[in-house]
Structure 1
Amino acid sequence: MTSSDAIDAVVDQLDSLTAGDPHPPPAASPSPAPNSNEQNPTTTTQTGEPGAATEVGDVPKKKKKKRKGGKGKTLPSGFEENFVEAPLTVEEYNKDKELYNPSKSVAERIETAIQKYKAKRKLDPLRHQLLEAYFHLGGIKTGAKMFGGVDQKFIKENDTEEIARFKATDYVPDSMKNIGIERIEELDDDYEDPEYTVDFDYVVRAFVTHKIPFEFGMKTPEQIEKAVNTIKNFLNYILYHNVCPEYTDNIKQAVKTCEKAKDELPVCSLLSDRLPGDFNKACSTLFGGYWSYMIPHEWDKEAGEPETKKPELGFTKEQALEIYRVLIQEQQDITYSPENLPKETYKEYASLEVISVWLPEPGSPLKLGKIVCKPWTPEEALPVTSKWSDSNNLTLYCEKTIVQYIYPGLHLGCTVHIMDNSQIYFDEISGLMCSNYLEIRDEKEFEFDSDDLLADFD
């Protein structure tokens, strides 16, 4: 008698072997019972485990393993930390020699390099925005091409790089086509003093020391590193492909400027959050300075209001007086009377450059350090007049926990106050700038439409 359990086992085994196959082999008939008189002479049954059987010659199809990790590995962007340009092949080297031949103008070579660079880099929105701003500062314009479309035939006949170059929208304007071309006044009837010159480092300085911290608002070390490395990556591409061999030294200096900014910008960001320090905040609170308008208010707790509130920025009069009385005693040349607080006699907005710093010896009970400064006029700006001069430097006091980060060459914008007991304090920090700070302003930034201005008041 045929066992129903054996038949079920055979069916289950066949189902498991053909699972997922859109065209499973036909199911085999169950094996006859041992006492059956009928046998199939062409079929041999092999039995492995109890209750499991398959027929020889009826080999089941193997399941296809699913691939892990999506459609494939992500291609590099060209901005990875350890990214290195691949060695140039002979064909690529010869192509570069043709594209960047010194007989071509600098404008033509730079325009080509920008197009090829963008085709070889995977730009996220931020890097794209940074590069566009950097190119614009250097005089490169961006605009839609009149015949910038590509058809399927063009796409099939050209590689990705050529397609990207054809669709590129960055170009050198006509006013700068002759940039870098030497002209001899005596031999050129139409000679005019060049309006523009080629200076990679000048543009990079302005971008990394001014645009990145003040216009893009980069503050964290991660943000600053990404922004600076984006510009450095482009400069290294220019060097690697020998785009402007006559300006190699200048481009290398621009790379060093990037490295310097990457070190100094995070320090400036940190100090902007900590200055002017508790001592100067206390003085400002007591003597009517900027921080006297930041005194915390006492608020009546309303029903349902949480117990904890975000602390306010300033000091109360009592807190300020306590800090002042303790720390003013470290300035031995200042006359101090607990009963009669000093009064302000002079105030000046100062643009300063740090000359040197002084810190107490390790283990000293002193809490204040010294910052020695001189007046500073930013490059490309009108001279700044000041009460102080190179022979009469200004010494500011601040907590040593802050002074330890200040370095010679740092630039500081702040308001300086002089009291009738000769004490000096500073507050209202307007900016902290790198040692090689440079700001370039486009004349168009100062242009405005009077109709637009009036519309703001409607």
Structure 2
Amino acid sequence: MAPAAAPDGDGAQIIEPQPEVDESVISIPTLSVTEAEVGDEDEEAEEDAPDDPIDPARLSAPRKKKRKSKTTASRGPTALPKYRGNGFEEYFADPPMTPQEAMEEKQEIYSPRMQSCIQRFRSRRRIQYPRTTYFDDYLFLGGVDTKPGAYTGLDPKELKQLTAAQRREATSRDVIYEGTGAGGRFYDGDETKWTVDFAGVAAGFLSRAIIPLTGLQTGPMEDAIDVVENFLRYVLHHDVCPEYEENVKEALKVCLMAREEWPMLNSLQTALPGLFNFAATELFSKTDPDAWAFDLFQIPEGFDAKSVFYSVVTMLEDFKAFEHLFGKSVEVVDQYECTLEITKVNLPAKELIEQFQKLAITIDDNKKIRLLPMGKVTLKPAVIEDGWVEPDIQHPLLGEEIDLYFEQNILANLKPGMKMTLEICDLGSDVRFVKRIRKIVPSFYTFLAQELMIHFRAPQENDRPAPSVHDPTAEDNQPMEE
């Protein structure tokens, strides 16, 4: 910087020598600028600027104090950085802990076990809507009360007087009861009526509750699975319940199965029923034209049911079926609805695929219909529990396994363990086709009785008079409850 100039009595400028100044650091009261903080552009502007003595009044003006944010260390042990994201990023991981922090978690933080774990998980993850809804529903199925706690209206001044752990406990919305406080709707600490099953709760949530919550749309479904998976990994990482470590790992496997199987089942919406089963329905059960809904499945123009059905039977080389179907008047001898579980998926062999690739059914105007290679699935009788009381009816298949034919693109989206409720038509001689599929569930499908408690309200005494012949409108005239 240029030296400061002072005028003499004649108005001439006398240049007084100034002490050498280290240009790397210029220190003035309440101001410090270093080379590291000044860029090249600022230096050039400073050289071109006219000399201007610093105004002492400007330096003596009061400056606002910046509120210093607490450091990670001052916020207590096991605190996370404030700019860590929301905790659900693809490569997010909890930071490593010191031995002292690990001991504190084990002896103090997680002494009440799962309740503290859930509360701390919420505080260390920035769970926002709709993930909050997914997490609440998941916890509810596990017997955890997630309603707002009784201390949500606590004075902030009173909260400041509490420790971080006490503050988290007072403002918590997740409660695991240990007595009659549950009121019959949640877990009450009675091990004779409840069991700890991380895998079962995850399966129940990801096979049933996830459907109305996400509509099985890809994005929301991934978020719902991610919330459960993230929580389970948190339980493992912090060693919350080591005695159930294997069960927690099984629950993580359920999350992987959900990621694999739900897209498969979604793909079946455009693949079912397949040309073979549709052709069989057209030929032998035409009295029910609405057996299949064709919102997504497309029927090729000029489709001929008879050509497709008998071409497939011929290509499969099932001689028993061939002898029964050809040269005879065939009708449906039995029709029934049943629930079956897939035990084996038999994809078409390489030779059969090559034969189907050479097959083309010619229709009018020289148009051709190509048929996909056919395979079959082996199924056995099963039950899909859903909370409804079903009449005790003897299963029509009496425990036997059956085979059903499907196209290759359908078989690719089926796996052993999946269950289906379907309507089957029997043509005799073990020749069957699928007339309607009412439901397909993944292999990890689980019904939890806790689902029945979603809308449960404890009965209360009512002292209001009931309607009678003397006062039929008694109930209508009652004041509304607040």
Per the normalisation by structure 1, the TM-score is: 0.67
1:424 to 425, 429, 432: 432
306, 314, 317: which is aligned to 1:329?
314
Residue 115 of structure 1, aligned match among 119, 122, 143: 119
Q: 1:267 aligns with which of 261, 264, 268?
A: 264
Contact kept in structure 2, 1:349 and 1:416, CA below 8 Å:
yes
Say if 1:76 and 1:158 are closer, same or farther in 2 by CA, change over 3 A: farther
**Correspondence list, 1:58-207, <5 A:** 75-99=84-108, 108-154=112-158, 156-157=160-161, 163-173=167-177, 174-175=179-180, 176-180=187-191, 194-207=192-205
- Distance, in Å, in 2 between the alignment partners of 1:286 and 1:317 is 15
Deviation at 1:158, TM superposition (A): 5.8
2:377 corresponds, among 348, 361, 371, to: 371
CA distance in 2, matches of 1:249, 1:360: 38
Letter in 2 for 1:126: P
Q: Is the 8 A contact 2:271 2:409 kept in 1?
A: no
Match of 1:361 among 339, 342, 349: 349
CA contact (8 A) 2:380 2:401 kept: yes
Deviation at 1:134, TM superposition (A): 0.9
Give the match's secondary structure for 2:333.
Answer: strand
Change (3 A) 1:100 1:293: same
| Distance verdict in 2 for CA 1:264–1:356, change over 3 Å | same
Once superposed, what is the RMSD of the aligned Cα atoms? 4.1
Q: CA deviation at 1:328?
A: 3.5
Whether 1:395 aligns to 2:385 is no
2:290 aligned to which of 293, 307, 320:
293
SS of residue paired to 1:224: helix
Please tell me whether the aligned partners of residues 208 and 228 of structure 1 are also in contact (alpha carbons under 8 angstroms).
yes
Equivalent-residue separation in structure 2 for 1:125 and 1:114 (angstroms)? 17
For the 8 Å contact 1:410–1:434, the answer to whether it is kept is yes
Q: 2:209 aligns with which of 211, 216, 232?
A: 211
Work out which of the residue numbers 333, 338, 356 in structure 2 matches 1:350: 338
Partner of 1:229: 226
**CA shift in 2, pair 1:385/1:100, >3 Å:** farther
Q: 1:56 to 1:133 in 2, by over 3 A?
A: closer
Q: What are the superposed Cα offsets for residues 111-152 of structure 1, whole Å, 9 maximum, x if unpaired? A: 221111111111121211111111111111133333322334
Q: CA deviation at 1:311?
A: 8.4
Q: Give the residue type in structure 2 aligned to 1:434.
A: P
CA 1:271–1:291 in 2, change beyond 3 Å: closer, same or farther?
A: farther
SS at match of 1:292: coil
Q: 5+ unaligned residues in a row in structure 1: which ranges?
A: 1-37, 44-51, 61-72, 181-193, 298-309
Q: What do residues 143-191 of structure 1 show as CA deviations (whole Å, max 9, x unaligned)?
A: 33333223342454568776454222221233444345xxxxxxxxxxx
Asked if 1:415 is matched to 2:423, the reply is: yes
Matched residue of 2:130: which SS?
Answer: helix
Residues 1:433 and 1:195: Cα distance change in structure 2 (over 3 Å): same
1:444/1:289 CA distance change after superposition, 3 Å: farther
Q: Residue 364 of structure 1 aligns to a residue in which SS? A: helix
For the structure 1 residues 329 and 152, does the alpha-carbon distance in structure 2 shift closer, same or farther, using more than 3 Å as the test? same
Per-residue CA deviation, residues 245-276 of structure 1 (Å, 9 max, x unaligned), is: 32222222222222222222222222244222
- Between stretches 229-238 and 429-438, larger displacement belongs to 429-438
Q: Where do 1:15-94 residues align within 5 Å?
A: 41=13, 55-57=50-52, 75-94=84-103
Cα deviation per residue 1:379-406 (whole Å; 9 max; x = unaligned)?
A: 688777423245x321111112221332
Percent identity (aligned): 23
Is this contact kept in 2: 1:143–1:170, CA < 8 A? Answer: yes
Unaligned 5+ segments in structure 2 are: 1-9, 16-46, 56-81, 181-186, 357-372, 460-466, 468-475, 477-482
Deviates more, 1:409-418 or 1:270-279: 270-279
Equivalent position amino acid for 2:202 in 1: V
Number of aligned residues: 365
